């Protein structure tokens, strides 16, 4: 689900004209081109199909626990992008600017490291919430927290990254930011629903 979703996401979101004209290029993942937004859709689809075959398991319950692994996984992916000189940042004069010699000799924001560190911090936050709440954790809380924080940070960090697509240069936001907005909103809705469910549960316990 991760690989298929990430590949289709890249092809459809970032260079649809090329891949629609050259559909065989879709399978050439060794040439690069994966998108995290597509990976989210792929993972959720795969988990939904899994739950369909195991109806005793709740889909939201499963996804809540899956994000505990996805967050540090995202940190490692961005670390790989850093080593491969991929997803470069914009030029900077800050003292921690890094020269990616494979690309040019200009010091740039290590945007990949920004994301990697942020995702590790988010992973620690998710784990802390999970351990603190334990079995009483509301369905959708971890997923909502993951979506709103990861993709909220994604919107911010895109301002110091080079644009990967050419067809939205006239817009104030790039494709990664535009795709992240509905994901953040979905995360906030899940957080509100989890909070509402917790309050209702506490009221029932007091009445009982």
* 177-189: pLDDT as tens digits: 988 999 999 999 9
| Residue 202, pLDDT score | 64
pLDDT digits (tens, 9 = 90+) for 82-94: 999 988 999 999 9
3-state secondary structure of 123: helix
Check if the beta carbon of residue 89 is closer than 8 Å to that of residue 111.
Answer: yes
Count of helices and strands (H, E) across the chain: 7, 2
Q: Are strands 98-99 and 107-108 parallel, antiparallel or unpaired?
A: antiparallel
* pTM of the entire predicted model: 0.84
Quick: pLDDT tens for 22-76.
Answer: 888 888 888 778 888 888 899 999 999 999 999 888 898 899 989 999 999 999 9
pLDDT band at 168, cuts 50/70/90?
low
Tokens 């499963």 belong to residue = 62
Task: Supply 167's token pair.
Answer: 């067809």
pLDDT class of 98 with cuts at 50, 70, 90: very high
CB 174 within 8 A of CB 13: no
Spatial separation of the C-alpha atoms in residues 97 and 197, rounded to whole Å = 46
Q: What does the alpha-carbon distance between residue 125 and residue 67 come to, in Å, rounded to a whole number?
A: 11
Quote the percentage of the chain above a pLDDT of 70: 91
Q: What would the DSSP string read from start to end of 49-87?
A: HHHHH-TTS-HHHHHHHHHHHHHHHHHHHHHHHHHTT-S
């Amino acid at each position: 689900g991760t690989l298929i979703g990430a590949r289709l996401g890249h092809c459809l979101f970032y260079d649809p004209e090329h891949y629609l004209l050259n559909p065989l290029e879709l399978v050439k993942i060794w040439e690069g081109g994966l998108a995290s937004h597509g990976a989210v859709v792929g993972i959720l689809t795969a988990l939904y199909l899994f739950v369909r075959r195991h109806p005793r398991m709740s889909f939201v319950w499963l996804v809540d626990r899956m994000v505990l692994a996805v967050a540090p996984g995202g940190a490692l992916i961005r670390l790989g992008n850093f080593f491969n000189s991929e997803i470069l940042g914009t030029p900077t004069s800050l003292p921690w600017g890094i020269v990616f010699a494979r690309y040019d000799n200009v010091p740039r924001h290590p945007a990949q490291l920004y994301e990697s560190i942020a995702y590790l911090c988010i992973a620690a936050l998710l784990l802390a919430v999970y351990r603190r709440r334990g079995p009483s954790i509301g369905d959708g809380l971890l997923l909502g927290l993951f979506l709103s924080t990861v993709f909220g940070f994604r919107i911010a960090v895109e301002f110091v990254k080079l644009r990967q697509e050419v067809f939205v240069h006239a817009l104030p936001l790039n494709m990664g930011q535009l795709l992240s907005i509905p994901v953040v909103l979905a995360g906030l809705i899940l957080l509100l629903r989890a909070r509402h469910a917790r309050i209702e549960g506490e009221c029932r316990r007091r009445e009982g």
